[in-house]
Amino acid sequence: MKKSISALALLVSTAVVGTATPAVAAAADQDSHRHCIANLDTGRITCASDQQQARRLSGISAAAQTIAIFYDSTGYDTGAGTFTWTQSRDCTPGYDSEWQWDDLNSIGWGNRVSSVHTYNQCDVKFFNKVNFGGAASTWIDQSSNLANIGDGWNNRAGSVKFS
């Protein structure tokens, strides 16, 4: 089952105001909300000043599991920010794009991912333009420095597929 979510249709919940606002607010609040969690089952995004606070505020059920974490720095460094992707089931072993995000710019993560780690049998495939356009990376399980993947994928992703 493929699940595609348009970022523009989402609501973002923030720790400071505690209310739902359009997804573009996530990009505007990058300094105070550098760590975000997206629940791909519901489309809800929660951002906070650290990963633990974002997870607590997200209300993500115990059944939800992390499938990938994007890092704004190489070496899985959390200092500049993270974006955690969750959903309720494991990815399948085949590369069939169970989930996808068509515009990383709309959540403040376009051309920003420098390292990635995946979990629960998932891999990611980056595209350098929104809506899965332009060049595509290989399927990536983990990389502490995306500059070392193919022609270099550091700070290059505009959209992503998960499988």
Question: In this predicted model, what pLDDT tens digit does every residue of 103-152 receive, in sequence order?
Answer: 999 999 999 999 999 998 899 999 999 999 999 999 999 999 999 999 99
Give 12 or 46, the one with higher predicted confidence. 46
Domain ranges of the chain: 3-162
Dihedral (CA of 6, 131, 59, 33) sign: negative
Q: What pLDDT score does 33 carry? A: 67
CATH topology of domain 3-162: Gamma-B Crystallin; domain 1 (2.60.20)
Residue-wise pLDDT for 18-62, tens only, equals: 222 334 344 444 445 699 999 998 889 999 999 889 988 988 776
What are residue 126's DSSP bridge partners? 160
Q: Quick one: pLDDT band at residue 15, thresholds 50, 70, 90?
A: very low
Residue-wise pLDDT for 53-93, tens only, equals: 998 898 877 678 999 999 999 999 999 999 999 998 888 88
Computed over its alpha carbons, how large is the radius of gyration of the chain?
A: 14
Residue 58 one-letter amino acid: S
Say whether pTM exceeds 0.85: no
